[in-house]
Amino acid sequence: MGAGIVEPVGDWEGAKPSHRGLLDWLANEFMKSRYDSRRLVRTIVTSQAYGRESLGSNRKSGSAGRFFAAPDPRRLEAEQIVDALAYCSGAVWMWRN
């Protein structure tokens, strides 16, 4: 989404989460799934908010004004472009396991 629920991302003890309810809900879903990280990621990336057009401004907003209504626009890295082209063309990359 362009910004973390806690900013900076590594400061879980000093920084307050922007959306405590969302963080609690994600934690409960993680526990209910018996700590299945794949299921949690699947829940996030298949959400309606995650699938919206990239028009968000999460990174620019302060934690109080961050709504996670849509992901922030961002450029693809070179490796992501190569992987996408290889996938679309059906090429098999032996060096990518």
Could you list the mean pLDDT of each consecutive 10-residue stretch along the chain, which spans 97 residues?
71 81 91 93 83 62 59 75 80 55
Give the pLDDT of residue 88: 79
Q: What share of residues in the chain are helix, strand, coil (percent, to 5)? A: 40, 0, 60
Give the pLDDT of residue 92: 59
The domain total for the chain is 1
Six-digit token pair at 44?
Answer: 């996030």
Look at residue 53 and tell me if it is in a domain.
yes
Listed residue (69, 29, 63, 25) closest to 48, CA to CA: 69
Contact of 23 with 7, CB cutoff 8 Å: no
Look at residue 34 and tell me if it is in a domain.
yes
Give the pLDDT of residue 84: 80
Give the pLDDT of residue 25: 92
Domain holding 44, by residue range, is 20-89
Look at residue 52 and tell me if it is in a domain.
yes
